[in-house]
Structure 1
Amino acid sequence: MPEYNYLTKEQREFFLEHGWLRIPNAIDKKILDKWMSDFWVRVGWDEHDKSTWKLEYLKMPKHHEILPSEFSPDAWKAMCEIVGGEDKIDKEREYLTGDNFIANFGSEYWKTHPHSVQDAKGWHTDNDYYRQFLDSSTNALTIINCFTDVKPGQGGTFLAEDGIKGIVDFLYEHPEGIDPPFSYLYRHLKNCKKFTTVEAKAGDVFVTHSLLPHSPSKNHLHEVRVITNPHVNLKDSYNLNRPSGNYTLCEQVILRALGRDSVPEFKPTRPREVYFPRTFTFKRARVQEELDRLVAAAKAKGLPVDSVDSIYLRGEEYIKEHEKRNGYDRPHGPGGLCLTPEDPVGKEFEKERMKVLGI
């Protein structure tokens, strides 16, 4: 039986019902402040002149990383208990938490134009790097670390709580698994009714089941919202047929959505595969320009170049280790790489897969 020393019964039941859990004030404030101190330098825009904010939405690379247990101790305790214990967690793949910010700036346009959850596009679950099966735990949890307040209307992430069922039903029916990208997995979202919009204080952490669909929302306040979305990867696949019935909370969410106590008949019919994360190219393209800005800012203060702290200034060996931890040494998947926002390669791959699937 999984041990619960941190999560209360109420928190466990909430996660099972909603697919997510908020841990308030969980991020170490010193780390949060340190990482946010060079946010605007990295972006290259004027914090106080919104006419310089060139994009509504920006995904950034990582310059710092730290153990999750140091970054957000209480949230880490919750994550460990949700997946069945710290020993289940892969301490290699994506293990370290970093400052790969996702910034939603909004715009003047969206200050006066409505946009509801029913209008949302881009519903997804975070998987651009492995073959997805019903029992896949390569990404078990998707985390939302809030580095700024997220007020109502400030671009908080949309969560589709009743969207998990459509995903697990599809994956159950397709034991051959699916390779990313697979936007067709979320066609049922148009019929979902149970939505939540993330609202938070800076320092809050949302722990979400990896099969909980989510989507960006529009920032109507034109005040920057900054989060990160790291993942918790497990060593082994979920066990959805435990004779004892002692399932982890992650496993229970899947079985509950299926309406089953177990699925002994489910067996993947193709090998499990892990790929290079196909959407990382956007972030990697920003590394050098952010480094240049950080170095220039240090020099402007009369500081030496080596005062700039970045993964990419720690030598080739460290960079190589970092890239391995994040799967950048993996082969490209059959869906290719996402090189532009339009992603023509991915769309063509999806089109062909949908023909095969009869969708």
Structure 2
Amino acid sequence: MVLGTLEPLLVNVLREADLDAFVERGFCVLRGAFDARRAPAARARVWRRMEEKAGIREDDPATWPGAYDIEERLAVPEVLDCFTDRLAAAIEELVGPGRWRGLREWGFWPVNFSYGARLPYAIPTEGWHIDGNWFRHTIDAPNQGLLLIGLFSDVAPREGGTLVAQGSHRRTARVLGEHPGGLTHLELFEAVLAEPIGNFHELTGEAGDVVLAHPFLFHSRGYKHGGPPRFISNTEANLVAPLRLRGLDLSVLERSVRSALTGPPPRFDAPQRCRF
């Protein structure tokens, strides 16, 4: 469902601390972005698609893999109702009014059943990436805009939440700033992950929460040592035009990129070598 420019019905959805967290850490969280009571119906549609595509049945844990990804949008009412005006207003606070395409759909569903359950709990060294394998990455690319991580189930600590390397968006920006011609997905991974990253944080919360993450933020699937299957949806809030990195009237997203380019390089606590 594509809508026009969002009318300014909601203002100040995000606090100043949220905006600062987005610039410095690479993400902020909108708690209760949609009604948690809608999550079970949305999960039921994901279960139905997993059974249709791979024979994964909710009533038969023997059919459950460690993890399964549905790489498609589910444009059905049960899912569309979870993309609210409040969430759209928060997006516009970060990217600027009228600056995103307004596609209010949830796409790409990573379901974590038991990934890493047989391993000691740790920060995985594999699987670190940013999204966007469908375009060439440049410092001003409009293709993603924001990474939205919608929680469609409660996620407690060590229950398979997405892991992020806080501040890694700043290194990504600096790498892209050094390559004005852009980089492929894998070239970007190799350049950013050539040095250790750290400041690892597990994204936890309740169904209905949405993480608004920087498109340059490196993240990975976390080990799952308990709890029911974890349902999230990842989608993008892609932009109508490339980022502007000069001038005064910059969005929060644009200011975050300029800050990364002009400020000191990020410092990581508990750094470790990671790879895709």
TM-score range, shorter chain: 0.7 to 0.9
Instruction: State how far apart, in whole Å, the 2-side matches of 1:203 and 1:98 are.
Output: 13
Is residue 73 of structure 1 aligned with residue 85 of structure 2? yes
CA offsets 1:54-83 (integer angstroms, 9 cap, x no match)? x21111133325697862332221111100
The structural deviation recorded for 1:6 is 2.5
| Structure 2 Cα separation of the partners of residues 14 and 76 of structure 1 | 19
| Aligned match of 1:43 | 50
- Residue in structure 1 matched with residue 31 of structure 2 by the alignment: 24
How much has 1:34 moved relative to structure 2? 2.2
Deviation at 1:125, TM superposition (A): 1.0
1:51 CA displacement: 2.3
For 1:180-329, what aligned pairs fall within 5 Å after superposition? Answer: 180-182=185-187, 183-188=189-194, 191-221=196-226, 223-242=228-247, 245-259=248-262
Q: Distance in 2 between matches of 1:100 and 1:79?
A: 19
What is the distance in 2 between the residues matched to 1:258 and 1:123? 22
Aligned residues, how many?
A: 248
- Answer 1 or 2: which has greater strand percent: 2
Assess, with a 3 A threshold, how the Cα gap between structure 1 residues 203 and 253 changes in structure 2: closer, same or farther.
same
TM-score computed with the length of structure 2 as normaliser: 0.81
Deviation string, structure 1 residues 71-123 (Cα, Å, up to 9, x no partner): 233222111110011x11124xxx1313642101116xx44521422x33111
Tell me what 2:270 maps to.
none
Residue 173 of structure 2 aligns with which residue? 168
Return the structure number with greater relative CO, CA threshold 8 A, min gap 6.
2
Which of 19, 36, 41 does residue 34 from structure 1 map onto? 41
Q: Secondary structure at the match of 1:125?
A: coil
What SS class does the counterpart of residue 101 from structure 1 fall into?
strand
Distance 1:248 1:31 in 2: 31
Judging by fraction of residues, say which structure has more helix.
Answer: 1
Q: In 2, are the aligned partners of 1:35 and 1:99 still within 8 Å (CA)?
A: no
State how far apart, in whole Å, the 2-side matches of 1:112 and 1:174 are: 41
Given candidates 126, 144, 150, the residue that maps to 2:131 is: 126
RMSD: 2.5
SS at match of 2:73: coil
1:80-119 matched pairs, under 5 angstroms: 80-85=92-97, 87-91=98-102, 95-98=103-106, 100-106=108-114, 110-117=116-123, 119=124
Q: Greater CA radius of gyration, 1 or 2?
A: 1
Q: How far is the alpha carbon of 1:224 from its aligned partner?
A: 0.6
SS in 2 for 1:71: coil
Q: What stretches of structure 2 of length at least 5 have no aligned partner?
A: 1-7, 264-276
Equivalent position amino acid for 1:88 in 2: R
Instruction: Percent identity, please.
Output: 25
Residues 232 and 63 (structure 1), Cα distance of their counterparts in 2 relative to 1, 3 Å cut: closer
C-alpha spacing 1:192/1:75, structure 2 compared with 1 (3 Å): same
Matched, 1:6 2:6: no
Separation in 1, partners of 2:18, 2:155:
22
Structure 2 counterpart SS, 1:230: strand
Q: Secondary structure at the match of 2:28?
A: strand
- Corresponding position: 1:135 with 2:152: no
SS at match of 1:235: coil
